[in-house]
């Protein structure tokens, strides 16, 4: 099946209706804002080195988020599900690039949490998601929880192999769609004095879904099939 590269596109969502800020901030007791999350990290857990591929999602802040997500966090899970089936469905219907792309999508069961503290990376290297077993056809969506650009943002090329890297303009209330599966992307060491915080997830058009796919995600060891890496429920447009 022919694969079509999905260009970058921006959408807006209602932050009051989908109040991710309040729900996620409840995990980080003592923090005044996402921008200052690094200030509540205990001294014993402060990052002394640059994060790499093997530990870029294993900081103290990540541990706090995932401990809550993997135990019992219905407030966030229900909010995320509602967001997928209401707003993301709308984005696809309104998208110049996706409106006639596919009628059914698998979506990442739980989103990936990102924190980029001052003087460090968010991800360990520039990469394409397909380098890490992700199936061809996946589409990336990023939800910024802080305003950020330049060295505090994701840098991405406009099309595979072009190497014309540019920072995504990350603003609260935006949702950014880009082809991280085939386009090289990553980040630079942040020269900002505040944290960049976001979460992201991937959608896979069902026309690319292979229920016999035995490959698994590097971090979660989840197979890229419905009911494992992807949620049991399908997003229908």
Q: What is the pLDDT of residue 2?
A: 67
DSSP 8-state assignment for residue 8: P
What per-residue confidence (pLDDT) applies to 80? 98
Sign of CA dihedral 21, 24, 26, 27: negative
- Residue 5: the pLDDT is 84
Structure confidence at residue 1 (pLDDT): 60
pLDDT in tens, 137-164: 999 999 999 999 999 999 999 999 999 9
Q: How far apart are CA 211 and CA 79, in angstroms?
A: 27
Strands 196-205 and 104-107: what pairing?
antiparallel
Joined tokens for residue 14:
């209602």
Strand 104-107 relative to strand 235-236, pairing = antiparallel
Taking only the tens of pLDDT, the chain with its 237 residues reads 667 788 999 999 999 999 999 999 999 999 999 999 999 999 999 998 999 999 999 999 999 999 999 999 999 999 999 999 999 999 999 998 888 889 999 999 999 999 999 999 999 999 999 999 999 999 999 999 999 999 999 999 999 999 999 999 999 999 999 999 999 999 999 999 999 999 999 999 999 999 999 999 988 899 999 999 999 999 999
- Asked if residues 151 and 117 have their Cβ atoms less than 8 Å apart, the reply is no
DSSP 120-146: S-SSSS-B-GGGGTPPTT-EEEEEESS
**Entry pTM:** 0.96
Structural domains of the chain sorted by starting position, each given as residue range(s) with its CATH number in brackets = 9-38+56-236 (2.60.120.10)
What tens digit of pLDDT does each residue of 179-190 get? 999 999 999 999
Q: What angle do CA 122, 84, 233 make, to 5 degrees?
A: 110
Question: What is the per-residue pLDDT for 35?
Answer: 98
């Amino acid at each position: 099946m022919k694969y079509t590269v999905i260009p970058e596109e921006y959408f807006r969502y209602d932050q009051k209706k989908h109040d991710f800020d309040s729900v996620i901030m409840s995990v980080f007791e003592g923090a005044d804002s996402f921008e200052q999350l690094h200030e509540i990290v205990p001294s014993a857990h402060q990052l002394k080195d640059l994060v790499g591929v093997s530990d870029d999602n294993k900081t103290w802040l990540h541990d706090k988020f995932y401990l809550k997500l993997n135990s019992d966090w219905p407030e966030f899970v229900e909010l995320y599900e509602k967001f997928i089936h209401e707003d993301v469905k709308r984005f696809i219907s309104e998208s110049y690039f996706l409106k006639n792309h596919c009628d059914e999508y698998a979506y990442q069961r739980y989103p990936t949490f990102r924190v980029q503290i001052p003087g460090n990376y968010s991800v360990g290297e520039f990469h394409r998601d397909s380098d890490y077993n992700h199936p061809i056809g996946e589409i990336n969506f990023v939800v910024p929880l802080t305003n950020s650009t330049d060295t505090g943002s994701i840098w991405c090329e406009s099309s595979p192999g072009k190497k014309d890297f540019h920072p995504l303009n990350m603003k609260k209330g935006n949702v950014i769609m880009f082809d991280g599966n085939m386009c090289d992307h990553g980040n630079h060491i942040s020269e900002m004095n505040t944290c960049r915080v976001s979460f992201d997830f991937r959608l896979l058009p069902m026309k690319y879904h292979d229920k016999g796919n035995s490959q698994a995600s590097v971090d979660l060891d989840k197979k890229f099939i419905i009911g494992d890496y992807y949620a049991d429920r399908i997003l229908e447009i």
